[in-house]
A and B are shown apart, each in its own frame.
Chain A
Amino acid sequence: MIRLEPRPRASKAMRYLSPVIAAALTGVCGVIFSALAGLDPLDTFYAFFIAPIDDRYGLGELGVKAAPLMLIATGLAIGFRSNVWNIGAEGQLTLGAVSGGGLVLLFYDSGSAWLLPGAVVAGAIGGMLWAAIPAILRTRFNTNEILVSLMLNYVALLLLSYLVHGPWRDPEGFNFPESRLFPDSAMLPVILADTRLHLGFLFAVAAVAIGWVFVRRSFIGYQMRVAGLAGGAAEYAGFNRARMIWIGLLAGGAAAGVAGICEAAGPIGQLLPSISPGYGYAAIIVAFVGRLHPIGILLASLLMSLLYLGGEAAQMELGLPSAVTGIFQGVLLFLLLAVDLFVNYRVRFKTTVVEEALS
């Protein structure tokens, strides 16, 4: 008889393996999906996963899309570790673009060398302010931060839409809802010739490094880990819950805000009604698939970036809608959650098992 039984202790190997297994199973799902859609699975697989990155430009694009995911997921993971569920990164990203982009538009003609750094800082502040709303409501009124941060995503998108349709619309833009193109002095420099890979990628890698120190070495990182694993223990030890909520939300908000302005001042170069293809949501999946660990997040963001690139390629070459990216994102997270069962359980083929008690 096959049955599931709890492991005496969680399997370390499975903790690291399960994201890999989930990714592989997602690939299998993709093959089945393409077969069902009447496409040649091998061609689809090639078009989806190999073709987008088989040249220098493609690798650059991998970095371009991984950067915001990596940055945001690193920030979100800090909160997630302590059960602070910020799912408003999409809105915080948008506010980052709005405040950073607003600064650029305000000092449009200054040509100052400080414009770009100022915009990045303004982006971080914008994201943090947006994240501060759920933080203050949670700490003051105990309002659920999941729903508040999520609602603010819609509000942020409408705000951006209002700005680019109204006051910030490019006067010479033929009435298109978009801002003026950012001046060169406000654009992030490209760091790899012949690609679009920009400085924002280095911000993301730096964030991963900072995240690593925070998680593995710092006392506050430890406190947040305790709070996530056992809220009672954190209360008993006297760790300040409100501080953790603030840090968790602000870290995600700052990261998302920087990612937002880096999109506007990077690959996009202006403000549009939509500046993110759902990076704020995808980063949540990246954080989970990366096991909330900075290194894992680095790898997972590359995988997720590939899913985005594959989706775009599939759109152009196979005529599939870009929405398939969303399908695969959901499937990936689902499979990860399912495979995670085997971190704490194992399959047995006998009815009775006698084992030595652990000392």
Chain B
Amino acid sequence: MTADAGGGFTAPRLELRQITKSYPAVMANDGVSLRVMPGEIHAVLGENGAGKSTLMKIIYGVVRADAGEMLWNGRPVSISNPAEARRLGIGMVFQHFSLFETLTVAENIALAVDGPFDLEALAARIDAVSERYGLPLDPGRLVHSMSVGERQRVEIVRCLLQEPELLIMDEPTSVLTPQAVRGLFETLQRLASEGCSVLYISHKLEELRTLCHKATVMRDGRVTGMADPARESAAELARLMVGRELPVCTHAPAREGGAVRLEIDGLSRRSDDPFGTDLEDIRLRVHGGEIVGIAGISGNGQQELLACLSGEQPLARAQAARIRIDGREAGHLDTAARRGLGLAVVPEDRLGRGVVAAMPLTDNALLTAHRRGMVRFGMVLSSKVEAFAGRCVRDFDVRCSGVDAEARTLSGGNLQKFIVGREILQKPAVLIAAQPTWGVDVGASAAIRQALIDLRDEGVAILVLSEELEELFEISDRIAVIARGRMSAARAARGTDMEEIGLLMSGLSSDAQLECAHD
């Protein structure tokens, strides 16, 4: 541990003074100051929307600050684009990777490396670096064929090739299994011991406490505190981050013996998308009155499974029995017919899928709730639509300027409350929710999780797909894992732990594991 946070005589690797950046509707960074020493792993902690990502983009030169000063190794610098940042020795691994699907690993890396364009020489350098840091990569592979973890490796190797003095990692573990997280931490600690500083952005408290030497906490664009994460408790950090105690969602175990309301029986499907995942023999039963969580790293078949279950990709008629809703064959039905059987879905993407950004909440209520008497003789009954939207806004505490507010003017949390509310108010038999609280603030997350639990207690069968293990363990009664298009047997959440689920997430190839999927 080489964190020399005292200031001493060493100049900080990076120092920010009063960085300010505003967008038309929000103040993203408001007088943010920060100091990272050489060899220090420095956490920047904050909720979604606290301004962490904007701050990192300013450091990396993607975004320009409106005001403020930046010092690099003691000298004032002005970074106007990422190429300059890279020349100074700053590397960045983006949360949503900045990779190009149809290009090879070497081509992807070449795009971010200065110097002559020679893919073969570059491939040799990639091999050398990946060997040295234990990050195996095949330079000739196309990125679209790679898993999320491998893609992150590409990004990291791309940075390491520049021999950076500061590495920025934006929410790097949100896509990794617990085991892969440990591997990543080893790499980062090794880099730090070689003198490279790391800026580590996260909202996950526990992992910061094991990895980081210092933490700067942000809320609403401002710095709300500095802390030594190893010494503070998670609750203490949470208070700095959220401004109050973290709400915890508790619930009694599910009642046993509910009827099977959603049954997936040997569902296999080849993906239409050449970059997609094929589903293989998926089996799962969800009973009324329970929440089943599906864990998995993104890109392992979740999207394909969701499309099969929602009806966006209906199966052939011969396979109708592969999916049953309340006992009725539904595999061949389209979305509308399945909704008629009592299915409701909360999609992963909110803007552009769950709602239409440029339409008011009324029109967005009509999107899926039109079956509830809102259409007669092919014409829309606007008074019914308004009443429904109003009820949704009231019952689910959606903060907005009114039911005629355009969806895009709502915050992520309020938008998600609206979508979840819209689906719940349709009194579903089965509710499927993908990433229900992704990118949602803590308050809204708690409200959404509570709403799901209340719905469960009314006897609805709920299936939640999520990449956040913490969330799944908080609300699920049983948990199954999807990996490479196959699904494990669901096990009781109280009888398993993150370690076991994490192992399953990293791959279900052995026969033994497959067999248990057929219990």
Binding site for B on A (CB under 8 A): 5-10, 217-220, 222, 225-226, 229-230, 232-233, 235-238, 240, 351-355, 357-359
Contacts and interface: CB of A to CB of B under 8 A. Distances in A.
B352 A222 contact: no
B360 to A, nearest CB: 11
Given A219-B379, A237-B335, A354-B22, 13 more contacts: A5-B24, A6-B24, A226-B367, A229-B356, A230-B357, A233-B353, A233-B355, A235-B335, A236-B347, A238-B334, A238-B338, A352-B66, A357-B25
B380 A219 contact: yes
A240 B333 CA distance: 13
30 contacts: A5-B24, A6-B24, A8-B25, A10-B358, A218-B379, A219-B375, A219-B380, A220-B378, A222-B366, A225-B359, A226-B359, A226-B363, A229-B357, A230-B352, A232-B353, A233-B356, A233-B367, A236-B353, A236-B354, A236-B368, A237-B335, A238-B334, A238-B335, A351-B66, A352-B67, A354-B27, A357-B25, A357-B26, A357-B27, A358-B409
Interface stretch (B89-97, B114-122, B398-406): B398-406
Given A217-B380, A352-B66, A354-B22, A230 B356 contact: yes
Contacts of B312: 235-236, 238
A269 to B, nearest CB: 39
Interface string B338-374: 1100000101010111111111000100111010000
Contacts of B400: 359
A232 B336 contact: no
Contacts of B375: 219
B416 interface: no
A233 B380 contact: no
B195 to A, nearest CB: 37
Contacts of B336: 238
Contacts of B357: 229-230
A237 B375 CA distance: 15
Contacts of B409: 8-9, 358
A55 to B, nearest CB: 43
Contacts of B379: 217-219
Contact of B359 (A5, A229, A359): A229
Contacts of A217: 379-380
Nearest to A217: B379
Nearest to A221: B380
A52 B27 CA distance: 56
Interface in B6-64: 20, 22, 24-27
A232 B378 contact: no
Give 8 nearest A-B pairs by CB, closest first. A238-B335, A232-B353, A238-B336, A230-B356, A8-B25, A219-B375, A230-B352, A352-B66
B47 to A, nearest CB: 15
A266 to B, nearest CB: 32
Contacts of B367: 226, 233, 236-237
A235 to B, nearest CB: 5
A238 B339 contact: yes
B363 A222 contact: yes
B380 to A, nearest CB: 5
Nearest to A6: B24
Question: Which of B24, B67, B359, B409 gathers most chain A CB within 10 Å?
Answer: B24
B408 interface: yes
B311 interface: yes
A7 B358 CA distance: 13
A8 B22 CA distance: 13
Nearest to B369: A237
Contacts of A222: 363, 366, 380
B216 interface: no
A235 B334 CA distance: 10
A7 B363 contact: no
Nearest to A233: B356
A236 B378 contact: no
A301 to B, nearest CB: 26
Contacts of B366: 222
Contacts of A5: 24
Contacts of B347: 236
B310 interface: yes
Contacts of A220: 378
Contacts of B334: 238, 240
Nearest to A345: B24
Nearest to B347: A236
Nearest to B21: A352
Nearest to B400: A359
Given A230-B353, A354-B27, A236 B22 contact: no
Nearest to B409: A358
A220 B352 CA distance: 19
A232 B24 contact: no
A219 B370 contact: yes
Interface in B55-91: 66-67
A236 B400 CA distance: 24
A220 B366 CA distance: 12
A355 B335 contact: no
A355 B399 contact: no
A183 B116 CA distance: 78
A9 B67 CA distance: 26
A207 B349 CA distance: 38
A225 B362 CA distance: 14
A104 B24 CA distance: 62
Contacts of B22: 352-355
B349 A232 contact: yes
Given A10-B358, A238-B311, A359 B378 contact: no
Nearest to B333: A238
Interface string B383-400: 000000000000000011
A236 B158 CA distance: 37
